[in-house]
Amino acid sequence: MAQIIDGKQIARLVRAEVAEGVALLKKRSGAVPHLAVLLVGDDPASQVYVGHKERDAAEVGIDSITHRMAAGTPEAEVAALIDRLNADDAVHGILVQLPLPGHIATDAVIERIDPVKDVDGITPENFGRLLASEAFLEPCTPSGIMELLRRYDVSIKGRSAVIVGRSNIVGKPIALMLMREHATITVCHSRTTDLARRILEADILVAATGKPRMIEGPWIKQGAVVIDVGINRMPDGKLVGDVDFDVACERASLITPVPGGVGLMTRAMLLKNTLKAANKALS
């Protein structure tokens, strides 16, 4: 029976470490890290996520301000705000809550963020650096997964890692990070043939498809480490992951629950990145 990875506890530890770092920075420089969050429109899920970010930041002593803009705000206004935040020395981290309304070119907005303030690690510069080796700021969800693997002493070197999903915010960067730690990686997606057979070879499985319980328990290799990134709300309101958790538990050695796994780590890593950016700016 699998051991459940306690994302809640590890995220609490990371937050405590960040709080300590914030206190040290304050003592050294008199300043505290400042995170600017841009929220354009009134997407209900985004409102919830931004609320979490505000709460998390307050808990560790990071100053956060959410810049709320109406759904119809022209792209030029969003760009102008980013330019102002880039130029403001008191702002150390900038996060644009995605998705943006359809009339705004997301890539153009992201590219505008100063890479040293890109606490989501998604600007082309940071992404390119990660591709080459390592970026100063790396995306929060895959960083959170790596932190979980580290804290649970999961050996990665030489193991077979299968990633299901190839998005820029999860699938691709986690593949790069696992490869950097010497895993042999396989990246699967919606056109992958014979998915079950590939998953059966995974010592480490990362599921990031957004398809509720699509990865069936019997596909999991005996003893595998299963990281379920998916967050899917079912009609009864319950949250489930991309993996059929109950059956997977009978085969995996370690598994993340949903909720209580990767999601909390994503939030914690944003705080860690904000502290990192502030430390650099104030050094």
Which residues sit at the interface with ligand NDP, rule CB under 6 A?
A: 141, 164-167, 169-171, 188-192, 195, 208-211, 214, 229-232, 262-263, 266
Q: Which of 56, 120, 203, 228 is catalytic?
A: 120
Shortest distance, position 223 Cβ to ligand NDP, whole Å = 23
CB of 266 to ligand NDP, least distance (A): 3
CA-derived radius of gyration, the chain: 19
Angle (CA) 177-159-10 rounded to 5° is: 55
Q: How far is CA 142 from the centre of its chain?
A: 5
CB of 80 to ligand NDP, least distance (A): 28
- The dihedral region occupied by 61, where left means phi > 0, alpha psi between -120 and 50, and beta the remainder, is left
Nearest to 53 by CA among 119, 133, 134, 146: 119
Give min distance, CB of 182 to ligand NDP, in A: 24
Catalytic: which of 6, 53, 63, 118? Answer: 53
Q: What angle do CA 181, 208, 176 make, to 5 degrees?
A: 25
Query: Which of 61, 212 has the CB closer to ligand NDP?
Result: 212
DSSP structure string for 251-267:
T-SEE--SSSSHHHHHH
Nearer to ligand NDP, 169 or 281 (CB): 169
Q: Is 28 exposed, middle or buried (0-12, 13-18, 19+ CB in 10 A)?
A: exposed
> Is residue 3 flagged as an active site residue?
no
Query: And the tokens for 168?
Result: 């820029």
Catalytic residue among 6, 56, 63, 97: 97
Residue 75 neighbours by CB distance under 10 Å: 16
**Tokens of residue 128, six digits:** 């390119």
Q: Which residue's CB is nearer to ligand NDP, number 167 or number 279?
A: 167
Length of the chain: 283
97 is an active site residue:
yes
**Stretch (H or E) spanning 40:** strand 34-40
Judged by CB, which is closer to ligand NDP: 47, or 192?
192
Which tokens hold the place of 183?
A: 């895993």
Least distance from C-beta 47 to ligand NDP, angstroms?
A: 16
**Which residue number, 210 or 217, has a Cβ lying nearer to ligand NDP?**
210
Beta bridge partners of 4: 255
* Shortest distance, position 236 Cβ to ligand NDP, whole Å: 17
Select 21 or 212, whichever has its Cβ closest to ligand NDP.
212
- Catalytic residue status for 117: no
Q: How many CB atoms lie within 10 A of CB 183?
A: 23
The residues annotated as belonging to the active site are 53, 97, 120
